[in-house]
Amino acid sequence: MNEDLTLNAAQKKVDDWIKTFGVRYFSELTNMAVLTEEVGELARIMARTYGDQSFKKEDLKANLADEMADVLWVLICMANQTGVNLSEAFHKNMDKKTSRDKNRHKNNPKL
């Protein structure tokens, strides 16, 4: 089993892979389109596994974990090429959510 990977280590690992095997990053706009495509593939599996749609023959080989990893890969590529430190961004986002929503969900009668 692989060891846990920090976001910083994942960003470095992707960057090293791109520089070794990938020649270069796709453009930011291309990666945005690829991210959208990958999220769509993930959505297809989710809809068929947990929603009301049935699997088509070609969907049976799909792998939920692999599709999630594809989404993460492209997101990391986009972070690398735009200079975003995902670890720092994640911590700031958690702080924002905590201060904004610390009571919101507890007080939501729908939950």
pLDDT digits (tens, 9 = 90+) for 6-30: 999 999 999 999 999 999 999 999 9
How many structural domains is the chain composed of? 1
Give how far the C-alpha of residue 106 lies from the chain's centroid of Cα atoms, to the nearest Å.
Answer: 27
For residue 1, pLDDT over 80 is answered with no
Please tell me the predicted confidence (pLDDT) of residue 86: 98
Tell me if 111 is assigned to some domain: no
Residue 109 lies in a domain: no
Q: pTM of the entire structure? A: 0.88
Number of residues written out for the chain: 111
Mean pLDDT of 89-95: 97
Mean of per-residue pLDDT scores for the chain = 93
CA distance 29 to 32: 5
Domain presence at residue 75: yes
Identify whether the C-beta of residue 25 lies closer than 8 Å to the C-beta of residue 80: yes
Which tokens go with 94? 């958690």
Residue 55 lies in a domain: yes
The pLDDT of residue 6 is 97
pLDDT at 102: 84
pLDDT at 78: 98
Would 110 be classed as within a structural domain? Answer: no
pLDDT of residue 90 exceeding 90: yes
Q: How high is the pLDDT of residue 107?
A: 85
Classify residue 2: in a domain, yes or no: no
Q: Is residue 107 part of a domain?
A: no
Whether residue 11 lies inside any domain: the answer is yes
Q: Phi, psi at residue 27, to the nearest 5°?
A: -60, 160
Sequence-separated (6 or more) residues with CB below 8 Å from residue 63:
45
The CATH number of residue 31's host domain is 1.10.287.1080
Q: Residue 105's pLDDT is what?
A: 85
Expressed as residue numbers, the domain containing 53 is 7-101
User: Is 59 a residue whose pLDDT tops 80?
Assistant: no
